[in-house]
Amino acid sequence: MAEFMTETEQRSPAVPHPGTAGERRGRTGDADAGQAGGHPERHPEARLEGQEAVALLERTRTLVDPELRAALESLPGSMRRIALYHFGWQHADGTPARGNAGKAIRPALVLAAATALGGPAGRTAAVRAAVAVELVHNFTLLHDDVMDRDASRRHRPTAWTVFGTADAILAGDALQALALRMLAEDPHPASGPAAARLADCVVELCAGQHTDVDMERRAPGEVTLDEVLAMAEAKTGALLGCACALGALYAGADGEDVAALDGFGRQAGLAFQLIDDVIGIWGDPRRTGKPAGADLAARKKSLPVVAALSSGTEAAAELAELYDEPYVSGDAEGIVRTALAVERAGGRDWAQAEAADRMARAVQELSRAVPAPEAAGGLLALAEFVTRRSG
């Protein structure tokens, strides 16, 4: 489930490195400093935005983690153990661990949106909403790992490989229930509308995942670019949009501003997914923790692949033939050939250009609700942070 899942750098199925396929082109977006996926380290403005985003993420963890851990501790013993393991706070035997609980991008968006529209008071009021969004996100991760049979997340075995499929699914269900309980018990006047919006988001996530599973059963030529874009918005953009919308609700924003923040998150989420899909093919395994070409080995109909298949070129025909055949374990040369076919058919260039366009749309949506650049700074920094990744 790729919000159900997008965090490519956290997943590590065993596929060989495709060698120089990515190296010939360089990192994502090298040709254009302003293009999503470019090198933050080469552009001072982007570097400053990255520093601001990292600081925001660290502050978010400080604010959110105590409430999040308290929520997890309220679970029954068996569910609590799996959840704490998944977040990296316990080892499989139940002893304490100091693991990686994730970047906290979605709760950071909740707090940044609340700050942009309501100031520091808005941020403080929205902490429980931020926790709820993080719980829903991790519900999708637990289910995603089961559905994709991923063996590793955050550089450790996935919960289902340790505790079994059924227990991992049930732990994910428990996290979703916790999220809604967090909002139901919150006395803030926005908690009711926020709970309804988050529930609607979960339904949209599940519908997007259902579409994705259906697409994987279809022949490469039967999936259109419009379909895969709509699916990506449901699976990835929906929760980022919901996170921003919940922050706006907790800041007391009106309906138009809430809708604008939702639109901002959705468009930024699509840009995120586009870059994530590029990294899934050409990313540097030393930075991603995932061997490059894993998505190609799995024959995933990612955005660059579908764009390439839709190009009507000779390379598209070659790619369709390659995708018609299952991946043979250890066939590094086949992965290189497939990645080159996607690139020659224009899939990589299209994905990078589309990501830049989606970010421009996100900024336009944000300006409707938060016209002052200084107020919008946190949201923009987070959006740039997740879409300027190069691996």
pLDDT for position 21? 33
Query: What tens digit of pLDDT does each residue of 142-161 get?
Result: 999 999 888 888 888 999 99
**Once rounded to an integer, what is the mean pLDDT over residues 78-85?**
96
Q: What is the pLDDT of residues 17-53, one digit of tens each?
A: 333 333 333 333 333 333 333 433 444 555 555 799 9
44 vs 304: which has the higher pLDDT: 304
Question: Which pLDDT value is given to residue 47?
Answer: 58
pLDDT score recorded for residue 391? 55
- Count other C-beta atoms under 10 Å from residue 93's C-beta: 8
Domain-embedded: residue 48: yes
- Give the mean pLDDT of 213-228: 90
Which of the two residues, 200 and 39, has the higher pLDDT score?
200
CA distance 90 to 73: 12
Amino acid in the structure at residue 21: A
Residue 9 scores a pLDDT above 60: no
- Contact at 8 Å (CB) between 289 and 155? yes
Task: Examine residue 356 and state whether it is found in any structural domain, yes or no.
Answer: yes
pLDDT of residue 122: 87
Query: What gap in Å lies between CA 230 and CA 258, rounded to an integer?
Result: 21
What 8-state DSSP symbol labels residue 220?
Answer: G
Residue 45 lies in a domain: yes
Q: CA 197, CA 22: separation in Å to the nearest integer?
A: 40
Give residue 290's pLDDT: 62
Q: With 50 as the cut, is the pLDDT of residue 12 above it?
A: no
* 1: in domain: no
Tokens of 109: 């968006």
Tell me, yes or no, whether 374 lies in a domain: yes
Quick check: is 2 in a domain? no
Residue 361 is assigned to a structural domain of this protein: yes
Q: Which domain holds residue 376?
A: 8-387
Helix (H) or strand (E) holding 156: strand 156-157
What tokens appear for 24 in the block? 């010939």
For residue 39, the model assigns a pLDDT of: 39
pLDDT > 70? residue 245:
yes
> In which band, very low, low, confident or very high, does the pLDDT at 316 lie, cut at 50, 70 and 90?
very high
Does position 104 have pLDDT exceeding 70, yes or no? yes
The set of residues, in sequence order, having a beta carbon less than 8 Å from that of 218 and lying 6+ positions away, is none
**pLDDT (0 to 100) of residue 390:** 56
> What pLDDT does 361 receive?
97
**Backbone torsions φ then ψ of 11, nearest 5 degrees:** -120, 140
378 in helix, strand or coil?
helix
In a domain, 3, yes or no: no
Q: For 9-13, 26-30, 204-208, which range has the lowest pLDDT when averaged over its residues?
A: 26-30
User: How far apart, in Å, do the first and last CA atoms of the chain sit?
Assistant: 21
Following DSSP, what letter does each residue of 121-150 receive, concatenated? HHHHHTHHHHHHHHHHHHHHHHHHHHHHT-
pLDDT in tens, 160-194: 999 999 999 999 999 999 999 999 999 999 999 99
Q: Cβ distance 91 to 85 under 8 Å?
A: yes
Q: Is residue 93 predicted with pLDDT exceeding 90?
A: yes
Q: Which two tokens stand for residue 273?
A: 């997914």
* 289 vs 376 pLDDT, higher one: 376
Domain harbouring 280, CATH code: 1.10.600.10
Check residue 45 and give its pLDDT: 54
Question: Domain tally for the chain?
Answer: 1
